[in-house]
Amino acid sequence: MNESQDEHEAPTVTETVQLLFVRHENSIRSFVRSLQPSLSDADDVMQETFLTISRKASSFEPGTNFLAWACGIARLKVLENFRQNKRSNVLADTAIIALAEDAPTPELLIERELALEACIEKLAPRMRDLLWRRYSRRQSSVEMADAAGMSSTAVRVALSKTRAMLRDCIHAKTRVAE
Amino acid sequence: MNMNDHGEIDTLISACLDGCLSDADADRLSRWIEESSEVRQRYWELASVHAMIEQSMQSTSMKAITGQVVVPAPKSGSYFRWSRITSVAAGILIGIFSASMVWAYAVPLASQTQRVSKEIVFESFEDPQMKSPGRFPTNANRWFGGMLSVPGKGGMPAVEGTRLGKFENVSKYRFTYARYVVDLDEYAEPSDEHTRSIEVSGSFFSPDLDPTSVFRIDVAAFGETPEAVQPVWIDREHFDDVVLQQVGRNHSPELSDQPIWHEVKVMMEIPSGARSVVVSLGSGKRAPGGAGSDRYLDAVRVKLVDTFKPRD
């Protein structure tokens, strides 16, 4: 194929929607992960969402809110996934449906994302270290406890407190922004 | 709902996010979620924090947050499955995927932002076992130069955390350095409409400054891989032919009654073709001789700064 011709070819509707998906992938993924604690299930949901938006690309109206449209599809895929993979120790379907209906707007999620970085910077190094072990290295609470010289219960409590501190910080920052 | 309930609900939500809910707790939290919009709101607030931290930590070099060794996140199979499935769009998608993964929470507004800054290294020398062997880095993402982690104390509190870095006192050298190599290949390239710079800052301290004391930061970019920079650095005869760009700043602290921390900052545009950037933070004297004194370093930050420069 002639390269210069290819460069000037306008993207198809499907390609345009796929590009929008890629551009907003972090926000969509944050939305999915908020509802889906299992990482592998969240990956499946993201894939299914991508396939569905590709298939339904023609139903997206350019100029409207892509993120809201994509999150709407992702929400259905999360529910489908919960129904297909009945797992123990997880929230009931009805609770997931209730949560999905009360989901924050994509704009609010973006606003929180923007506030997060500054809030993480305010954390004590020990707390940042816990986050790094939990979210980057994917260590279990037992592994984290060994590394940090704490009990695994203390690790879970510290993680929970750290997330709560970040939530409060983000809340304060977004409230100021309002 | 009272304050005690809030605490219990937060604990249950946290356990849910960590995948360690008991059956009974899962039932209890499900009921609360179904019955109360306030609980649903609390869930979303914590869950979105959980998801956003994961996104940022997975997509950003961990050096940005903790100064720890980078452990790349396992690649999600889905990206590759997608790219196979959508072979038509794959060529377009790959570049944007990598960009979106690094600038995790800047992406949504990146196109409208004039300047996007991302911290890629933060070091406050909190690890008491910290080892920084050798004078010059032999690989990326690790401190070299003989720094020791020591606790802060009265009159010399840490700028960040509770500990700080102490420069090794080697009498035969006029300057001692903490050095680090950034591997630019670990970060997605900026778009065509952005230029990338590197910003380095650090806080220096000495309890007994004299008029010849100097703190300095140097930044130098090379086309070589991090592992190949050391021989280039040592070969001073050819150094100037090989270095792509170099910026240094000397800071001569004013003497004061009470010793204070001195923050020094340097910024350098990264030239095209650069693969490695050497960051050096040094402390010493302008003139040789005199007794060596203790010098300390804390709160070192390295940021990549992308500045929007539209093409004509």
Q: Is residue B107 part of a domain?
A: no
Residue to test with chain A: of B52, B68, B92, B113, most A Cβ within 10 A: B52
For A62-102, write each residue's pLDDT tens digit: 888 888 889 889 988 988 888 887 766 678 888 888 887 78
**Residue A56 predicted with pLDDT over 80:** yes
> Hey, are the CB atoms on A135 and B58 less than 8 Å from each other?
yes
B171 assigned to some structural domain: yes
Measure the CA–CA gap between B141 and B68, rounded to whole angstroms: 8
Residues of A in contact with B45 (CB under 8 A): 167, 171
Which stretches of chain B are DSSP H helices? 3-17, 23-35, 37-59, 77-85, 87-102, 107-110, 226-234, 236-242
Tell whether B171 and B248 lie within a shared domain.
yes
Tell which of B17, B35, B59 closes a domain.
B59
Q: Do B105 and A51 touch (CB under 8 A)?
A: no
Q: Is residue B299 part of a domain?
A: yes
Q: How far is A45 from chain B (nearest CA, A)?
A: 9
Give B155-198 pLDDT, tens digit per residue: 777 888 788 999 887 666 678 889 999 999 888 888 777 889 99
pLDDT at A20 over 70: yes
Report yes or no on B303 lying in a domain.
yes
Structure confidence by residue, pLDDT tens digits, B24-57: 998 999 999 999 999 999 999 899 899 888 877 7
Q: How far apart are CA B248 and CA B286, in angstroms?
A: 15
Q: Does domain A1-103 have CATH number 3.30.300.30?
A: no
**Residues B44 and B174 reside in one and the same domain:** no
- Does B281 lie in the same domain as B183? yes
Tokens of B295: 């010098």
Residues B76-102: pLDDT tens digits?
A: 333 333 332 333 333 333 333 333 332
Answer yes or no: do A18 and B93 touch at CB < 8 A.
yes
Q: What share of chain A is helix, strand, coil (3-state, %, to 5)?
A: 80, 0, 20
Answer yes or no: is B75 within a domain: no
Q: Are residues B265 and B168 in the same domain?
A: yes
Closest CA to A25 of B71, B105, B15, B22: B105
The answer, yes or no, to whether residue B104 has pLDDT greater than 70, is no
Angstrom distance (rounded) from CA B101 to CA B123: 23
* pTM listed for this prediction: 0.47
User: What percentage of chain B has pLDDT greater than the value 90?
Assistant: 24
User: ipTM of the predicted structure?
Assistant: 0.81
Tens of pLDDT, residue by residue over B243-286, are 999 998 888 887 776 778 888 999 999 998 999 999 999 988 87
Domain count, chain B: 2
On chain B, the residues whose CB falls within 8 A of the CB of A50 are 78, 82, 86
Chain A residue with the nearest C-alpha to that of B34: A95
Q: Which chain B residue's Cα is nearest to A16?
A: B89
Q: In the A/B pair of chains, how many CB contacts fall below 8 A?
A: 199
User: What is the domain range of residue B49?
Assistant: 3-59
**For a pLDDT cut of 70, what percent of chain A falls above it?**
90
Residue B87 counted as domain residue: no
Q: A51 versus B131: which is more confidently predicted? A: A51
Contacts with A89 from chain B: Cβ below 8 Å: 19-23, 26
CB < 8 Å to B40, chain A: 98-99, 102
Residue B275 lies in a domain: yes
CA distance B264 to B278: 17
- Higher per-residue confidence, B19 vs B43: B43
Residues in chain B: 312
**Domain regions of chain A by residue span:** 1-103, 105-178
Both B178 and B296 in one domain: the answer is yes
Same structural domain, B28 and B127: no
- Please indicate, yes or no, whether residues B53 and B123 belong to a single structural domain of this protein: no
What does the alpha-carbon distance between residue B197 and residue B204 come to, in Å, rounded to a whole number? 23
Residues B51 and B119 in one domain: no
Among the partner residues B10, B34, B54, nearest to A135 by beta-carbon distance = B54
pLDDT of residue B79: 33
In this prediction, what percent of chain B has a pLDDT beyond 70?
Answer: 76
Is B64 domain-assigned?
Answer: no
Is residue A153 pLDDT above 50, yes or no?
yes
Consecutive H or E run containing B217: strand B213-222
Q: CB distance A141–B18 less than 8 Å?
A: yes
Question: Cα B65 from chain centroid?
Answer: 6
Encoded amino acid at A19, one letter:
L
Inter-chain contact B33–A18, Cβ cutoff 8 Å?
A: no
> If you search the block for the tokens 């940090």, which residue do you land on?
A148
Tens of pLDDT along A99-121? 877 888 877 878 888 888 889 88
Domain A105-178 in the same topology as domain A1-103: no
CA B77 to chain A, closest CA, distance in angstroms equals 8
Q: Return the bridge partners of A41, or none.
A: none
Q: Is the pLDDT of residue B150 over 80?
A: yes
**Predicted local distance difference test score (pLDDT) of residue A89:** 67
Residues B122 and B32 in one domain: no
Predicted confidence (pLDDT) at residue A141 exceeds the cutoff of 70: yes
**Among B26, B44, B107, beta carbon nearest to A90:** B26
CATH number of the domain enclosing B287: 2.60.120.260
Nearest CA in chain B to A47: B78
Same domain, B20 and B156: no
Provide the mean pLDDT of chain B.
Answer: 75
Query: Which chain B residues are Cβ-neighbours of A120 within 8 angstroms?
Result: 53, 56, 65
Give yes or no: residues B126 and B261 share one domain: yes
Residue among A123, A117, A133, A150 at smallest CA distance from B124: A123
Among A45, A93, A160, the strongest candidate for a mutation testing the B interface, having the largest count of B CBs within 10 A, is A160
Domain A105-178, CATH among 2.40.30.10, 1.10.10.10, 2.40.50.140, 3.90.550.10 = 1.10.10.10
Residues of B in contact with A104 (CB under 8 A): 44, 48
Residue B127 is predicted with a pLDDT of: 82
- Give the pLDDT confidence score for residue B233 in this predicted structure: 83
